[in-house]
Amino acid sequence: MAGERKLTMSEAVREAMTLEMRRDPKVFLAGEDIGIIGGAFGVTGKMIEEFGPERMMNTPISETAIAGIGVGAAAAGYRPIVEIMFSDFIGIAMDEIANQAAKMRYMFGGKAKIPMVVRTACGAGVSGAGQHSQTLEAWVTHIPGLKVVYPSNSYDAKGLLISSIRDDNPVIFFEHKFIYGISSDCPEGEYTIPIGQAKLLREGKDATVIAWGLMVHRAAKAAANLEKQGINVDVIDIRSLVPLDTAAIIKSVKKTGRAVIVQEAYRTSGFAGEISAIISEEAFSSLKGPIIRVTSPNTTIPLSPILENEFLPSPEKIEAAVLKLVKLV
């Protein structure tokens, strides 16, 4: 809506946490440098002035300890938001996340709830090089018991984070570093967005383009370029990987008959492969051509901005994939 208040995604994330901490005294934050420094990306800036060090817990540089704080506190009735500074280091905390947080509710017959949010910055495009630029959402989508959320804009980040904090299950919340500084509409006050509900950004009849995170922005740009050539596509921002809005994807693919899935992550065993399999199982007879994945290659992310730009899926690569499908028929 024209005239809507605009926030950057980092501001929207901060506002969501602030609102929930004011609403519920059992919500607290824990992570490296989140207090006075405000986090590596400034997301928690000045929150310590309102909530103090008891609810803004600066931790040692130990992802294992950070996740462990979250699991224990959640099991004891709190609603922790723990920050893993870079998603590249989420593997250090995988025992706590995959074997404890994800399984405790099941292992205790539903008597234990783990209302825990793991916020983690991810993604390339900021010259972070190979160890600070990955987007590893596929790792955690494989673990039953975890919800996985990956917003592409300020409005969704705020609404989905509030929903995640209020959820009684552990949620892995990916925040793309490149999107932190992008402003978009974000209204004041509390609102929630259901976890597991995709968003149709553009409507078309010629193909379906499915994306999440930064790739939503690039898919939208590709769609705008295609429209100038008389080709109109559905662009779906899945927003939530687990649970996944399968119905929205299948409905669109059955309408268009063509599917392009865009992921920033490495190609092999990425979440795009899971979506491709679902389409093949549930909409195969509607397809007019092969499902195409537009992904990053299976190689370490380069530091050089020129090479990094070539490494990532681009609007031009997405556009080429759609054109290839449309020209098949």
Residues with active-site annotation: 132
Tokens of 114: 């783990």
Phi, psi for residue 325 in degrees, rounded to 5? -70, -45
Tokens of 213: 């995170």
- Give the strands of the sheet with 56-58, arranged side by side: 56-58, 27-31, 79-86, 117-122, 171-176, 147-149, 240-242
- Prior bond to 243 cis, omega within 30? yes
- Give the strands of the sheet with 259-266, arranged side by side: 199-202, 233-237, 207-211, 259-266, 292-296
Cα separation, 325 vs 329, in Å, equals 8
> 269 has which bridge partners?
none
Q: Are 250 and 282 in contact (CB under 8 A)?
A: yes
Tokens of 97: 């996340």
Cα separation, 181 vs 17, in Å, equals 18
Cα separation, 82 vs 116, in Å, equals 8
Cα separation, 232 vs 320, in Å, equals 14
